[in-house]
Amino acid sequence: MGLARRIIPCLDVDNGRVVKGVQFLDIIDAGDPVNVARGYNIAGADEITFLDITASSDNRDTILATVEQVAAEVFIPLTVGGGVRAVEDVRRLLNAGADKVGINTAAVTNPDLVDESSAKVGAQCIVVAIDAKSVHQEGEPPRWEIFTHGGRKPTGLDAIEWAVNMADRGAGELLLTSMDKDGTKSGFNLGLTRAISDAVEIPVIASGGVGNLQHLADGVIKGGADAVLAASIFHFGEYTIGEAKQFMADQGIEVRLT
């Protein structure tokens, strides 16, 4: 179809430092976001996502400095999420050099933020992050609900209806995380990914659960994801981005080989 499926490494950033480090390549300071982003660019990542987990509101602006530094030196798309609550937050991140801004909890508490941000900066800059969890009982048809606060707080919102709602309001892309799968290394929730991807016209990034390269390929082939996001399998050097792309290419998936 002419468009490569993307592989996106995701980095947690706390107070301007990459948390837990990244153990691959010959990075001297594995906590430095610029070094890590540069390393992933050389490795062939199609995009980089930073998730700002800075807890203290006093230090919220550290992410802006981080984004400025990375965007001045690494020339691939950069998505930044975490703590985005107002259109002003979106604008400040974009002005610092982010290409896309992820909106998560605030999309649930204030859905108009998605409309307002999208109208202001364009849908292509707005990524709505959706955290969904299975809520169906044994024997029932599958159903997923939106959760916030790291999967602890149910919202009563049906995940598919919510995804359609977010797309209608002006999201340019959805970052879909299965809270059942996140951290399990047992693969994406393919049923959820497929259901959401089929329900919306906008691209869907699958996230949560990647433990090996087959999981990435399955996310595209079975889940219908337009992009796949992973953290630990890349950060700890289990696989390189190049190996992941070659594996996907061998299964007939169009990727950008560098």
* Residue ranges in contact with other proteins by CB under 8 A: 1-6, 41, 46, 68, 71-73, 75-77, 94-99, 119-125, 172-173, 201-204, 226-227, 256, 258
In the complex, what is the shortest distance from the CB of residue 14 to other proteins, in angstroms, rounded to a whole number? 24
In the bound state with other proteins, the residue whose beta carbon lies nearer, of 115 and 238, is 115
Return the structure tokens found at 115: 């409309």
In the bound state with other proteins, the residue whose beta carbon lies nearer, of 22 and 121, is 121
CA distance 13 to 78: 13
Q: Are 226 and 14 in contact (CB under 8 A)?
A: no
CA distance 220 to 200: 15
Strand partners, 18: 13
CA distance 82 to 85: 9
In the complex, what is the shortest distance from the CB of residue 80 to other proteins, in angstroms, rounded to a whole number? 12
Q: Is 192 exposed, middle or buried (0-12, 13-18, 19+ CB in 10 A)?
A: buried
CA distance 156 to 164: 15
Q: Residue 48 is which amino acid?
A: I
Catalytic status, residue 131: yes
In the complex, what is the shortest distance from the CB of residue 147 to other proteins, in angstroms, rounded to a whole number? 25
Strand partners, 29: none
Strand partners, 130: 176
Candidates 12, 99, 115, 158; catalytic one: 12
In the bound state with other proteins, the residue whose beta carbon lies nearer, of 59 and 258, is 258
Eight-state DSSP code of residue 113: H
Strand partners, 139: none
Catalytic status, residue 26: no
In the bound state with other proteins, the residue whose beta carbon lies nearer, of 94 and 132, is 94
In the bound state with other proteins, the residue whose beta carbon lies nearer, of 53 and 71, is 71
Candidates 32, 46, 52, 131; catalytic one: 131
Q: Residue 185 is which amino acid?
A: K
In the bound state with other proteins, the residue whose beta carbon lies nearer, of 108 and 225, is 225
In the complex, what is the shortest distance from the CB of residue 10 to other proteins, in angstroms, rounded to a whole number? 16
CA distance 32 to 203: 30
CA distance 214 to 115: 36
* Torsion on CA atoms 5, 194, 231, 73, rounded to nearest 10: 40
In the complex, what is the shortest distance from the CB of residue 55 to other proteins, in angstroms, rounded to a whole number? 27
In the complex, what is the shortest distance from the CB of residue 202 to other proteins, in angstroms, rounded to a whole number? 6
Catalytic residues: 12, 131
